Structures are given as C-alpha cells and as structure tokens.
C-alpha cells in the first residue's frame, strides 16, 4: 500500500480551539449551520408518519416520513406562539402534527391545516404559516440535514464519495445495535482520534492485531471527506472480538476487497466504517467546548440474519471496547490541552490526515492557516 502523505511540519491546533466558548459558537455559525449533518438512518422511519427528533446545535428538528418516497425535516416550533410541537424522542404521527397548546394542526408536509378559532381573513391566512422546513438529503441509507439558508447542494458536498460505496449496497443495511456515549472532550479530538492509527499499537492491541497500523492507505487525503482502507492481517476476516466474520461478506466485493476495512471522516461530524460483513456509523453531537455525545450504530444486511454465521454481538463487543478506549484517551487529551503548559506539538507523518483536517477546519472557520 502507498504510504501516508507527509504532515509537512504541521503542528496541532492552539488550545483555544478546544476550550473556548467563543470558538464553539463560531463553529456553530460557520461549520455546523453550513455543512450537511447526518441525523440518523432512513431505516428508522419505516411507516408514513414515523418520526424522530434530531436534537443538535441547540435546535430540535422533527424528521418525519411524509410518504413512501419522501422524508421531511421541520423545526420543532409551532407557528402560533412558538411552542415545541413534540417532545417524545421518536414515535408516529397519525396523519397530522398537532400542537399541544392551542391545537394548531399541520399535515406531514408541514402545511397548517387547522387553527381553531382563527378566522381566515385579512389578518390571517393558514397558508402563510407552514412549519419552517429544514434542508434534507438522503444518501446510502443515511439522513442528512443542513441548517443553512442556502446550502451547498448535497451532491456537491459529497461529490468525492457519491457513488464510491455502491458495491456495498449500504442503503439496504439496517441498524442492529446503537450505543450512546457521553464524552468529556471537544468534538475535534474525536475526529482526530478517528483519523489516525498511530495510537493503535499502544491503545488498541486487539485492533492492531486485526489491522496492523502501518497497513493503511488514504484514498481521500484532502477536503471535507478523508480516509481510506486498512488491510486485515492474515487469518483475520473482520473487526470482531475474535477476528472471525460475524455475517456473510457483502455481495459484490471481490476477493481482495474482502480483505479491506474502510474508514472515512465526513467532516464535521460523521464517521463511516465499512467492514467486509457489516458497517458502522458514529455521529458526534456537540454539547459544549469540552462535552460531546457520540452515537454509534452497527448496521447489517437484513438478509444476513438468516445465515448460520450471523452474530452481531462479536462486532458490537469489539467496537464498544475500542470506542471506550478512544473516548477515554480523548478525555485525557482534553485535560492536558486545558493546562497552561499545553502548546501545539508536531504531527507525525502517520498523522497527515489530522493536518488535512485542521486545514479544512480552519478554512471553514475563515482562518486560513494554523496560526500557532
Ligand atoms: S403555540 Fe401552538 S397552537 Fe398555540
Ligand atoms: Fe482509536
């Protein structure tokens, strides 16, 4: 495999990027309100009217299946006096979304269809008060929203990978397990941690045995989507607690592809990991400069469940252990960076992706270089 591109003398970011409330707020304005953010899976909305709430960046967004073909996203804000329309994290609307305060009622396309005791006339037209909609896109079975008023089209933002994973048939996969982690660390520490395997021999001996850390390649090494494959060691079939596959390999992969595991960061807050027999997504939700939630979901082909070698628990156990090792070191990093003694340190060539991430991040913030 080709070696990682050099980090060319780049250094880690100054401490303020991991600690400052002001920068956290600026990130909301310049990054999290501009970029496409994954909020969950199409498979979670199986019937018309089923919904879940995406709670992120200080907003509550209703993600609802309007029909077989259409999923919509609305701010969870009534057009009468602003009350939140629903507070259950997930559920099913019959055919309407009704405000619990004065019963203003919206259909699943967001139109206000009833407003009791409000007379249609010069002062009031129902047609003028639809729910505020949020930009939405789906790709490979995942749902993305964009809080911006004029977002970059999803197809442009994701151009580098739009058809890249077709052979895996990711959109068929269904979530089999979900774990939510609370991590006392800045979101970027998790993004950076995911983007290098320099730490693998020290922190993840079990993972490093399955995929030796130097056997990796970055096939996307600049821009908002970064990552590439790692090669499974001889005798290992997948990333599981014992290295054996836990489901039949995805249908359209050739022999060599069944030896690779793919890892991509979709900046800012999604990680996509593809094993030969299952996939996994991590979504980061920012809670504060030093606090994040990570939601991890394990995805399997629904047909795999009928096969004899199907055992997702070995994949779940392996990654839950690895996740906890990672979050623990991210928390320890945060505490060190909080110190007055912290200063930017040099990246190794194995951390070239971190230098690329910092470039993407600083450009998005409107700061052209790492001004340490
Ligand atoms: S605030 Fe929703 S109906 Fe009054
Ligand atoms: Fe790790």
Segments forming the whole domain that contains residue 293: 16-34+172-365
**Contact between residue 207 and residue 183 where contact means Cβ atoms under 8 Å apart:** no
Residue 157 domain flag: no
pLDDT for 171 equals 94
DSSP 8-state secondary structure symbol assigned to residue 11: B
Residue 371 domain flag: no
pLDDT for 217 equals 85
Residue 306 domain flag: yes
Mean pLDDT per 10-residue segment, the chain (372 residues): 61 98 98 98 96 98 95 98 97 97 98 96 94 98 97 97 93 96 98 96 94 88 93 95 94 87 97 97 98 98 90 98 98 98 96 95 85 44
Residue 126 CA to ligand 1 center (angstroms) comes to 13
Same domain flag for 183 and 330: yes
- The protein residue whose alpha carbon is closest to atom 4 in ligand 1 is 102
- What CATH number did the domain enclosing 329 receive? 3.90.380.10
Ligand number nearest CA of 271 is 2
- What CATH number did the domain enclosing 126 receive? 2.102.10.10
Same domain flag for 221 and 261: yes
Q: In ligand 1, which atom is closest to the CA atom of 85?
A: 2
Same domain flag for 44 and 76: yes
pLDDT for 46 equals 92
Question: Measured in whole angstroms, how far is the alpha carbon of residue 352 from the centre of its chain?
Answer: 21
Same domain flag for 298 and 189: yes
262 lines ligand 1 (CB under 6 A): no
Domain boundary among 151, 180, 201: 151
Ligand number nearest CA of 79 is 1
Q: SS3 string of the chain?
A: CCCCCCCCCCECCCCHHHHCHHHHHHHHHHHHCCCCEEEEEHHHCCCCCEEEEEEECCEEEEEEECCCCCEEEEECCCCCCCCCCCCCCEEECCCEEECCCCCCEEECCCCEEECCCCCCCCCCCHHHCCCCECEEEEECCEEEEECCCCCCCHHHHCHHHCCCCHHHCHHHCEEEEEEEEEECCCHHHHHHHHCCCCCHHHHCHHHHHHCCCCCECCCECCCCEEEEEEECCCCCCCCCCCCCCCCCCCCCCCCCHHHEEEEEEECCCEEEEECCCCEEEEEEEEEECCEEEEEEEEEECHHHHHCCCCCHHHHHHHHHHHHHHHHHHHHHHHHHHCCCCCCCCECCHHHHHHHHHHHHHHHHHCCCCCCC
Same domain flag for 217 and 144: no
Tell me which residue of 294, 185, 288, 275 sits closest to 237, measured CA to CA: 275
310 lines ligand 1 (CB under 6 A): no
Q: In ligand 1, which atom is closest to the CA atom of 104?
A: 3
Same domain flag for 137 and 259: no
Ligand number nearest CA of 324 is 2
Q: In ligand 1, which atom is closest to the CA atom of 83?
A: 1
Residue 46 domain flag: yes
51 lines ligand 1 (CB under 6 A): no
77 lines ligand 1 (CB under 6 A): no
Same domain flag for 117 and 191: no
Residue 159 domain flag: no
Domain boundary among 88, 121, 151: 151
pTM for the structure as a whole: 0.95
Query: How many separate domains does the chain show?
Result: 2
Q: In ligand 1, which atom is closest to the CA atom of 115?
A: 3
- The protein residue whose alpha carbon is closest to atom 3 in ligand 1 is 102
Residue 178 domain flag: yes
Residue 370 domain flag: no
Pocket test for ligand 1, best of 74, 101, 112, 116 (most atoms within 8 A of CB): 101
Distance in angstroms (rounded) separating the CA atoms of residues 145 and 154:
9
- The protein residue whose alpha carbon is closest to atom 1 in ligand 1 is 81
Q: In ligand 1, which atom is closest to the CA atom of 99?
A: 2
Same domain flag for 52 and 22: no
Residue 183 domain flag: yes
Same domain flag for 132 and 256: no
Same domain flag for 224 and 101: no
Same domain flag for 180 and 137: no
Same domain flag for 222 and 342: yes
């Amino acid at each position: 495999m080709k070696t990682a591109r050099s980090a060319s003398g780049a250094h880690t970011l100054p401490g303020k990027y991991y600690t400052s409330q002001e920068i956290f707020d600026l990130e909301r304005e310049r990054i999290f309100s501009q970029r496409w953010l994954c909020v969950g899976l199409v498979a979670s909305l199986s019937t018309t009217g089923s919904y879940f709430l995406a709670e992120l960046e200080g907003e509550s967004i209703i993600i609802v299946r309007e029909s077989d073909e259409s999923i919509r996203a609305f701010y969870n804000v009534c057009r009468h006096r602003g009350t939140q329309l629903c507070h259950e994290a997930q559920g099913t609307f019959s055919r309407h979304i009704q405000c619990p305060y004065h019963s203003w009622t919206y259909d699943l396309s967001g139109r206000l269809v009833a407003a009791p005791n409000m007379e249609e006339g010069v002062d009031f037209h129902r047609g003028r008060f639809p729910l505020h909609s949020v930009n939405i896109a789906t790709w490979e079975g995942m749902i993305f929203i964009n809080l911006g008023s004029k977002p970059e089209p999803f197809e442009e933002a994701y151009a580098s990978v739009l058809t890249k994973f077709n052979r895996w048939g990711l959109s068929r996969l269904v979530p089999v397990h979900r774990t939510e982690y609370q991590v006392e660390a800045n979101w970027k520490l998790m993004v950076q941690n995911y983007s290098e395997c320099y730490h693998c021999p020290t922190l993840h001996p079990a993972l490093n045995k399955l995929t030796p850390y130097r056997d990796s390649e970055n096939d996307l090494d600049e821009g908002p989507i970064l990552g590439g494959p790692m090669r499974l060691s001889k005798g290992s079939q997948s990333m599981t607690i014992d290295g054996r596959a836990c489901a039949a390999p995805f249908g359209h992969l050739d022999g060599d592809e069944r030896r690779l595991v793919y890892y991509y960061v979709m900046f800012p807050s999604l990680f996509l990991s593809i094993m030969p027999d299952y996939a996994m997504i991590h979504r980061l939700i920012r809670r504060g400069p030093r606090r994040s939630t990570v939601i991890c979901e394990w995805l399997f082909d629904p047909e795999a469940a009928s096969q004899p070698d199907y055992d997702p628990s070995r994949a779940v156990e392996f990654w839950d252990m690895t996740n906890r090792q990672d979050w623990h070191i991210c928390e320890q990093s945060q505490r060190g960076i909080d110190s007055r003694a912290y200063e930017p340190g040099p990246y190794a060539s194995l951390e070239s992706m971190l230098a690329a991430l910092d470039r993407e991040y600083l450009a998005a913030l409107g700061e052209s270089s790492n001004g340490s």
